[in-house]
Amino acid sequence: MPSQSLRLRGKKSHRLNDEVRFIRSWLEKPLSMGAVTPSSRILARTMARYVEPSVAGPIIELGPGTGPVTEALVQAGVEPSRLVLVEFNPAFCKILRARYPDATLVQGDAYSLRRLLETLLLQPAAAVVSGLPLVTKPIRMRLRLIRDAFDLMLPGAPFVQFTYSVASPLPRRLGGFSVEASERIWMNIPPARVWVYRKT
Ligand SMILES: C[S@@+](CC[C@H](N)C(=O)[O-])C[C@H]1O[C@@H](n2cnc3c(N)ncnc32)[C@H](O)[C@@H]1O
């Protein structure tokens, strides 16, 4: 059995490799990456805190990247087999497939959520957790995404989104959903906030 220091070293090199892959992808496609580095553990844990593992149903993650939020969800008690990961970067899909073999991985465009998932889900989702860089898309696309997500979820289920921008990526004036926000998370590059939307 590996010693604790070996395991720690393994985790650190894992994280370093992820950061290198992330920066490479950001250099290739800065707008669709929306970040230069994977989310910090504290941001990932804050996202996971809004998901209640005891509520039945799949948990959809949009834009999981190298999987820091996925890991936080699993650590919070979510069975990997309940996860539906939607990621369009093939290199990240390869990593996710190796790390979460029991999760359902969908390689595709999260903005076509309805088409991707409506026949795949056997029951309504308990939550949608998103790392997509929403603010790089026009408002009408963001709105269509959240409406499609609400249609796939249980009533009142959370759509959890992080963003680096100060304002909510889904303006309150659009209506039809409640809005909740976390404190600003300074231990992340750059600092971020988690927003939670529920259909009203
Ligand atoms: C800001 S990164 C977040 C990655 C990870 N969730 C994290 O917190 O470190 C955005 C991720 O969304 C993915 N992505 C961007 N647009 C997408 C789309 N339309 N469909 C699926 N994935 C997308 C990117 O490939 C990247 O993995």
pLDDT single digits (tens) 100-148: 999 999 999 999 999 999 899 999 999 999 999 999 999 999 999 999 9
Using an 8 Å Cβ cutoff, are 144 and 163 in contact? no
pLDDT tens column, 59-84: 999 999 999 999 999 999 999 999 99
pLDDT at 6: 59
With cut-offs at 50, 70 and 90, classify the pLDDT of residue 173. Answer: confident
Of all residues in the chain, the percent with pLDDT exceeding 90 is: 76
N- to C-terminal Cα distance for the chain? 50
| Residue 22, ligand 1, Cβ within 6 A | no
| Residue 92, ligand 1, Cβ within 6 A | yes
Sequence-ordered strand ranges (E) for the chain? 59-62, 83-87, 104-107, 127-130, 159-163, 177-181, 193-199
| Residue 67, ligand 1, Cβ within 6 A | no
Distance (Å, rounded) from C-alpha 29 to C-alpha 49?
Answer: 30
- The mean pLDDT of 39-58, rounded to a whole number, is 97
Query: Residue 160: beta bridge partners?
Result: 129, 196
pLDDT tens column, 153-162: 999 999 999 9
The CA 5 to ligand 1 mean position distance, Å, reads 31
Which of 168 and 20 is assigned the larger pLDDT? 168
Least confident piece of the model among 33-47, 131-145, 179-193: 33-47
The CA 63 to ligand 1 mean position distance, Å, reads 3
The CA 52 to ligand 1 mean position distance, Å, reads 23
CB-side exposure of 143: number of CA atoms within 13 Å?
9
CB-side exposure of 50: number of CA atoms within 13 Å?
27
Q: Return the best residue to mutate from 33, 61, 92, 185 for the ligand 1 pocket (most ligand atoms within 8 A of CB).
A: 33
> Residue 134 is which amino acid?
L
Neighbours of 7 (CB within 10 A): 11
List the 127-130 sheet strands across, edge first.
104-107, 83-87, 59-62, 127-130, 159-163, 193-199, 177-181
